[in-house]
Amino acid sequence: MTSAESHSSNAPVACFSVLTEADPSAVPRVLEIFALRDLIPSQIHVTRSGGENVRAPEAEITIDVQVSGVGREASEAIARKLRAIICVHSVLTSERQPRSAL
């Protein structure tokens, strides 16, 4: 898939929700998976939970990423790569239609 194809207005939007340890390297590691595929996310949202102490066992980061124009097979391949990152606990995926198509 080329970059031009990934920006098609009618293409589905792949959504990834990644739960990681509260590790400073988690966000760049997750985003690197998309960069290696020449993909620019249309939306990124990061939430840290578990209080101010990032070393607490309950401290986690949730990284939500949306990318336009990623097919189901590519989405599954990206999810497998995300799950292989050492600090990642879980990866959930979904697909939605772009807002312009609704």
Q: Map out the domains of the chain as residue ranges.
A: 10-101
Band (98; pLDDT cuts 50, 70, 90):
confident
Residue 95: is its pLDDT beyond 50? yes
Kindly indicate whether the domain formed by 10-101 is annotated with CATH number 3.30.70.60: yes
Residues 63 and 20: beta-carbon distance below 8 Å: yes
What six digits make up the tokens of 64? 């939500």
Closest by CA position to 94, among listed 39, 40, 20, 16: 16
Query: What is the average per-residue pLDDT within 71-82?
Result: 96
Average pLDDT, the chain: 88
Question: What local confidence, expressed as pLDDT, does residue 14 receive?
Answer: 97
Higher pLDDT, 98 or 2: 98
What residues contact 6, with CB distance under 8 A and at least 6 apart? Answer: 38, 39, 40, 67, 68, 69, 70
Residue 102: is its pLDDT beyond 60? no
